[in-house]
Amino acid sequence: MKPDLHSRRPENSSLATRTAPLRTGAKKIFVKSYGCQMNAYDAARMADVLAPEGYAETADIEDADLIVLNTCHIREKAADKVFSELGKVRMLKEAREAVGLATTIAVAGCVAQAEGGEILRRQKAVDLVVGPQSYHRLPEMLRQAAFGPVIDTDFPVEDKFDHLAQPSDEKIRQRGVTAFLTVQEGCDKFCAFCVVPYTRGAENSRPARKVVAEAKRLAGAGVREITLLGQNVNAYHGEGENGDDWSLADLLARLAKVEGMARLRYMTSHPNDMRDDLIRAHAELPALMPFLHLPVQSGSDRILDAMNRRHSAADYLRLVERIRRARPDIALSSDFIVGFPGETERDFAATLELAREVNFASTFFFKYSSRPGTPGANLSDQVAEEVKSERLARLQDVVEPQRRAFNAALVGKTIEVLFEKPGRHPGQIAGKSPWLQPVQVDGPENWIGRVAAVEIVECSSNSLFGRLRNNLGPSGEGNRP
């Protein structure tokens, strides 16, 4: 990267017509993130680590001196998208070059980790490849990239979190009243279909002290809801503030005491790590929202076994029962994979059966995608694409009505909503229900950041529409400090 070029900015001109005059100004970074919430969290932290280097975030890719694609490797389509996107970014880089502007292209995230050097070979416009555990080294890597392509996909011994600059209060406010906070990373479970243990490395929990400090900072700047993130977040076992080993339940109980914190959530959980204290937390902690994403993947014991999930369909159903007993209004959501190698019609029927029995509030379903390097890729009995598509449609027919019924059941009820942003139309504000449904109401923007009582009057397939219960006013504990 050439600093002299980077400091030259065009004024009020589209890329095609950019000519002099040039002015000196801050460098701009554009980050596009794919995949899971953890990638979204990482994207924000990459911007944070580069802010002290003089990079301001821009939403306009054409205006960026540094473009970061923060990639996902979970399914083939996600990984392929990176290369098509890189083709477009290369053209942008060339167009900027033609008007004397240098652009640095970085590939981060799980494709960077999995394919590393291959990316540099396939797309010469890429200057830098950085894995999910080494992006705290971005400032140094950018300096090196001035002299040729750089790659860092180490799993370093140092903790990246210790080397990340904190966002300013202003930056936190810009990002909104809800935030993600990574507390656990990596996975030791090695489900037969999944790349995560290879792209994110071994399981590792952050010490509670650091998590609490980050949560306090966020809450102090106006964040009202935090979602704790981890590939297996409920396997969290970090060093507690008192030096003991803390579980996720211990951590949640502590975070509920942080001033200004109205709501807590966590994701994603593995059924086998859903311990008693965490189930109890759902009964005992008012700040812990009654929504749980608990992927099951399949309802067939044979397939669950082949997937290395280490639990049966009956285990899952028993767990659901225990969770519902502790917190009767809890909404459950899940992930399913259809067409795992060897999945027969009978196996799939068991999946439909489980979905019917549980009655999920929302569901994510995926066609099995064979991933290089995972045990699933070597299985002989791959299921034909048409069969996968047909099963996906049948599963959808079972779970879609469940989701709609769950939304419809709220019409006529009064629920608490955390307002997050302006709504679709002027005069509206939008927020989320405790069960993560988007809610729209007519209301003033200064209610953003408040938890308030809303009477639901209507629902569409994806959103709820309601009226502010002015007579109740915003609930006391929910008011923004």
Smallest gap, in angstroms, from Cβ of residue 317 to ligand F3S? 26
Of 29 and 110, CB closest to ligand F3S: 110
- Asked if 231 is part of the footprint of ligand SF4 (rule: CB under 6 A), the reply reads yes
Q: Which is nearer to ligand SAH, 131 or 295 (CB)?
A: 295
Q: CA nearest 374: which of 330, 340, 409, 324?
A: 340
- Sequence-ordered alpha helix ranges (H) in 374-472: 385-408
Based on the shown chain and the rule CB under 6 A, indicate whether residue 273 belongs to the binding site for ligand SAH.
no
Q: Which is nearer to ligand F3S, 75 or 450 (CB)?
A: 75
Asked if residues 460 and 477 have their Cβ atoms less than 8 Å apart, the reply is: no
**Residue choice 190, 277, 373, 378 for contact with ligand SF4 (CB under 6 A):** 190
Does the protein bind ligand F3S through residue 39 (CB under 6 A)? yes
Q: Which of 72, 107, 287, 292 contacts ligand F3S by CB under 6 A?
A: 72
Interface with ligand SF4 in residues 135-154 (CB under 6 A): none
CB of 87 to ligand SAH, least distance (A): 24
By beta carbon distance, the residue nearest ligand F3S is 35
Whichever of 110 and 468 has its CB closer to ligand SAH, that residue is 110
Contact partner, 133, from ligand SF4, ligand F3S, ligand SAH, none, Cβ < 5-8 Å per class: none
Name residue, tokens 């509206």. Answer: 428
224-230-233 Cα angle (round to 5): 90
Total residues at interface with ligand F3S (CB under 6 A):
13
H helix or E strand, kind and range, residue 218? helix 208-220
Q: C-alpha angle 262/268/269, rounded to 5°?
A: 105
Please report, as residue ranges, which positions from 12 to 41 form the binding site for ligand SAH (by CB under 6 A): none
Distance CA 392, CA 389 (A): 5
Residue 196 found at the interface with ligand SF4 (CB under 6 A): yes
Residue 197 interacting entry, from ligand SAH, ligand F3S, ligand SF4, none, C-beta within 5 to 8 Å by type: ligand SF4
Residue 74 near ligand SAH by CB under 6 A: yes
Q: Which does 96 bind (CB under 5 to 8 A by kind): ligand SAH, ligand F3S, ligand SF4, none?
A: none
Residue with smaller CB distance to ligand SAH, 142 or 251: 251
Query: Which helix (DSSP H) or strand (DSSP E) does residue 431 occupy?
Result: strand 428-432
35 is a contact residue toward ligand F3S (CB under 6 A): yes
Distance CA(337)–CA(366), nearest Å, equals 5
Q: At 245, which amino acid appears?
A: D
- Kindly state the greatest CA–CA separation across the chain: 69
- Give me the 256-285 binding string for ligand SF4, x by CB under 6 A, dash otherwise: --------------x---------------
Query: What H or E segment, with its residue span, contains residue 362?
Result: strand 362-367
Asked if 426 and 451 touch (Cβ cutoff 8 Å), the reply is no
- Residue from 34, 55, 180, 193 that binds ligand SAH (CB under 6 A)? 193
CA dihedral 32, 154, 38, 43 (to 10 degrees): -30
CA 423 centroid distance within chain: 22
Residue 327 touches which member of ligand SF4, ligand F3S, ligand SAH, none, C-beta under 5-8 Å by kind? none
Residue 471 CA, chain-centre distance (Å), reads 36
Q: Are 384 and 391 in contact (CB under 8 A)?
A: no
Is residue 147 exposed (0-12), middle (13-18) or buried (19+ Cβ within 10 Å)? exposed
Which residues sit at the interface with ligand SAH, rule CB under 6 A?
74-75, 193-194, 196, 231-232, 268, 270, 295, 297, 335, 337, 366, 368-369, 371
Which residues sit at the interface with ligand F3S, rule CB under 6 A?
35-36, 38-39, 72-74, 109-110, 195-196, 199-200
